[in-house]
Amino acid sequence: GRGRGSLKLHAVVVAEDARRRATTTTTRRERGRRTPPPLSSSSKASAAVNAETSSSGNEGVHAWGPIGSNEAIKGYTPTAAEDARTAVSLVRHGTFCTLASDTGTPFGTHVYYLVDEATGSPIIRVPSDSVEDLNLLKDGKCSLYIHPSGDASDCIARVTLMGNAVHLGREGDDSFEDVRQKFGEVAARLPPSERSFEDLVHDNDEVFRVDVEKVYVRRLACVITQQKEVEVVEGEEYQKAATDPLAFVAPYMVEKWNEEHLDDIVRFCTFLTGAMIEELEMCKLLWIDSLGLYIRFQKFGEFPKDIRMGFPQKVNDEKALVSALTMLGQVTWENQ
């Protein structure tokens, strides 16, 4: 029913409020001292921006707190090149298109790939008698479309890499054996139930490296209109960018925070949007990166919306992330 989701969210927040009040013996002023160490000059600038641009109407409530959602999209989000590198490193499979050798029309197939982390270039394997192999040997022009799965697909960018496939070798070549070994190492880390024939390089395969010349990155551009835009990144900028330092921690942390700290996620949402808990049918954390996080919420009778909250300073590892989320949860609790 209409009230079930709202009652659940409300119960979670109320229960956590009671727990915090029961375990907190200091005064509100003393609790306010539970802030991070002195901020660097860049962090102080971030806090100042937060005080001026918070979209929830809570301007200046705390010197160290969440960055308002619109400002977070503008200045507290990885670059398009960084988001592209993160998507490519995380997903490891996509739709690979070559130009048909007889007609010149695009021909697409699903492939698994490795990533040269130094440049972001995907390394793929294709059977030596396949259509795509014949196409590439005639014309190396190709593209690779990468679409993250699950809820993260709406936060991590959807990426199309355009470039040229360079032939690295076939069975017996040193480069081929090196790629075969690396594919095997990746497959060995997968749970047995998730392994497949496509995860390995086989004797009749040939291997190619995709040298990226241009990247098209589609991602959220405005939290008010929910508009997504495509940004064009040149190959050199893509190669110089880096995968987000939290990329491989984020899936676990998203699941953990939704299960164990939903009350904080709800407060982040109400802080950023001004919505009342009773209005919310659904609220959950979608994704985390080193500069902030994405939340999806839905009011009764409305479509879901995605918002972004920026961190007042960059976090580079799991320990720093837990600390930042905990302190931001405290900040929003004290100012609710």
Q: Transcribe 105-157 into DSSP letters.
A: -EEEEEEEEEEETTTTEEEEEEETTSHHHHHHHH--EEEEEE---GGGGGTSP
What lies within 8 Å, CB to CB, of 18 at 6+ separation is: none
Q: What pLDDT was estimated at residue 267?
A: 94
Spatial distance between the Cα atoms of 65 and 47, rounded to a whole number of angstroms:
7
Residue of 126, 125, 129, 137 whose CA lies nearest to 99: 137
Compute how many other C-beta atoms are within 10 angstroms of the C-beta atom of residue 27: 9
Instruction: For the chain, list residues with pLDDT below 50.
Output: 1, 14, 24-63
* CA angle, residues 12, 20, 54, in degrees to nearest 5: 75
Q: What pLDDT was estimated at residue 16?
A: 60
Spatial distance between the Cα atoms of 148 and 84, rounded to a whole number of angstroms:
11
Spatial distance between the Cα atoms of 286 and 324, rounded to a whole number of angstroms:
17
Spatial distance between the Cα atoms of 84 and 9, rounded to a whole number of angstroms:
34
Q: What pLDDT was estimated at residue 335?
A: 79
Q: What pLDDT was estimated at residue 17?
A: 58
Longest dimension (CA), the chain: 77
Q: What pLDDT was estimated at residue 13?
A: 59
Residue 320 burial by Cβ neighbours in a 10 Å radius (0-12, 13-18, 19+): middle
pLDDT in tens, 292-312: 999 999 999 999 999 999 999
Structure tokens at 118: 């130094």
Spatial distance between the Cα atoms of 233 and 215, rounded to a whole number of angstroms:
5
> 117 and 239 in contact (C-beta within 8 Å)?
no
> 312 and 303 in contact (C-beta within 8 Å)?
no
